[in-house]
Amino acid sequence: MTDRPDRWRIKSVEQSIADTEQAGTRLRRDLTWRDLTVFGVSVVVGAGIFTVTASTAADLTGPAISLSFVIAALTCGLAALCYAEFAATVPVAGSAYTFSYATFGEFTAWIVGWNLVLEFALGTAVVAKGWSSYLATVVGFGGGTVAVGPVAVDWGALLIVVVVAVLLGLGTKLSSRFSAVVTTVKVAVVVLVVVVGAGYVKAANFSPFIPPARTDGTAGTGLDQSVFSLLTGATTSHYGWYGMLAGAAIVFFAFIGFDVVATTAEETRNPQRDVARGILASLGIVTVLYIAVSIVLSGMVSYTELRDAGGAPNLATAFVLNGVTWAGTVISIGALAGLTTVVMVLMLGQSRVLFAMARDGLLPRALARTGARGTPVRITVMVAVLVAVAASVFPMDKLEEMVNVGTLFAFVLVSAAVIILRRTRPDLPRGFRAPWVPVLPAVSILACSWLMLNLTALTWIRFGVWMVLGVALYLGYGRRHSRVGARLSARTDAAADGPDQQRLQK
């Protein structure tokens, strides 16, 4: 054995799988590939398609929004194949965190897990606030906030987080059944958008397909423009080719969540086969829906009309501008249903990542205890409290980009990990093998890195602060309480004591 595992604290695949059988920290295996597909579609078809599509078309891309979706979908597809191979090889809760532990070692695994916290926690908070705003629209009241002293509490966001936490605590299978019902409703609404909206498409609205770059005072400049446009000397990333590329980095938010499927591998009956099916099926379904909606939206109204409509434009805005007010109401109901399952599945993913980290000792081990129903109730409650506070109290402007940068960073490491594990452990049984390795993972790394460069410089600064906090927490707690570190220390001590024990016996 080389000293590489000791130096990097690599947790072997065999040890990761063995840890799933620990008494008191077992997860129940209830899920099929159909359940995983439902989870994937239910989390991905949500905030992105109902809100981000229209706002990105209005502010950044114009009709080229469909190209932005194609670029984002291709990037996600490359990463999805890498996730599918890893989840079939290492069917353990934790997704990219667990995969990184088996290849790069503990420190990188912690960084990945910390970034998944960024993805799931902030993503859940953003979506919960969106749910609250749609609730106000559907029910017909002024808003979902109430003043508690000097703080404005978003009680609508608080309500959905509490309800979802209760469902998750009652069992993953029950959550899957609830998601299946609600997902059927929101997919039906998306199909309605495409069918009804197609009747209002006008060819003139597609011209110019890629609008000229906007350079007036309202366009983003300085730290509010993409890093790529700054590096190449452009003055703005609003419209033009820079806008279309920046739009791809933004609408990537609409695809976030398919990787949640990988976090449920440990709760799947046949993970070697079903996880890959669930990931690829869900991503395929939502890609078709997204591109169809973006084309119809661009044809229904000019991007300038969306931009000048006031407020934050969404899918309902396009129908209202065409006088189809009833469709706007139906879309709001669909969005309310859609965001419900997004909150649920993001919280599910968040709790499973933290569960894996706690089981490894990088967070307090007590959090990894499972209840009578085989679910990590303690972590679910902790996640619910943190998300509820963030969603009900703090403003969430611009946090979509923060979610994106953390997710793309995890995608880069998972793609790299597939290449490494193929070289270091070719003997491992793989229920699914990504094609064209190492070329495909390498292209995935480049594509994800490219999208990261098209996020704003301000987002990168915030991301840097988040990373510093994560490293401090690992050095202050995780490294000293790591179970892998404890095993390696015990092995080293035993080896050092061997000669002494032999001399004593003589």
- 369: domain CATH number? 1.20.1740.10
Q: In whole angstroms, what is the distance from residue 113 CA to residue 305 CA?
A: 41
Would you say 108 and 12 are in contact if contact means Cβ atoms under 8 Å apart? no
Q: Is residue 197 part of a domain?
A: yes
Q: In whole angstroms, what is the distance from residue 419 CA to residue 442 CA?
A: 8
Q: Is residue 3 part of a domain?
A: no
What pLDDT is recorded for position 406? Answer: 82
What pLDDT is recorded for position 237? Answer: 62
Q: Is residue 184 part of a domain?
A: yes
Percent of the chain that is helix, strand, coil (3-state, to 5): 75, 0, 25
What pLDDT is recorded for position 506? Answer: 45
Neighbours of 85 (CB within 10 A): 27
Q: Is residue 506 part of a domain?
A: no
Q: Looking at residue 366, what DSSP letter applies? A: G
Q: Domain of 219?
A: 13-19+34-493
Q: Is residue 253 part of a domain?
A: yes
Measured on CA atoms in the order 461, 463, 464, 469, is the torsion positive or negative?
Answer: positive
CA distances from 430 to 97, 102, 380, 408, 439 (A): 19, 15, 31, 24, 18
Q: Is residue 258 part of a domain?
A: yes
| DSSP H or E run through 314 | none
What pLDDT is recorded for position 233? Answer: 65
Which of 238-258 are b and which e, b meaning 16 or more Cβ less than 10 Å from the residue's Cβ?
bbbebbbbbbbbbbbbbbbbb
Specify the pTM: 0.81
Q: In whole angstroms, what is the distance from residue 374 CA to residue 384 CA?
A: 18
Per the structure, how many domains does the chain have? 1
Q: Is residue 94 part of a domain?
A: yes
Q: Which residues contact 141 (CB under 8 A, 6 or more apart)?
A: none
Would you say 253 and 52 are in contact if contact means Cβ atoms under 8 Å apart? yes
CA distances from 84 to 246, 346, 405, 435 (A): 27, 19, 21, 11
| DSSP H or E run through 145 | strand 145-148
Q: Is residue 26 part of a domain?
A: no
Q: Give the residues of the chain that fall short of pLDDT 50.
A: 1-5, 217, 219, 502-506
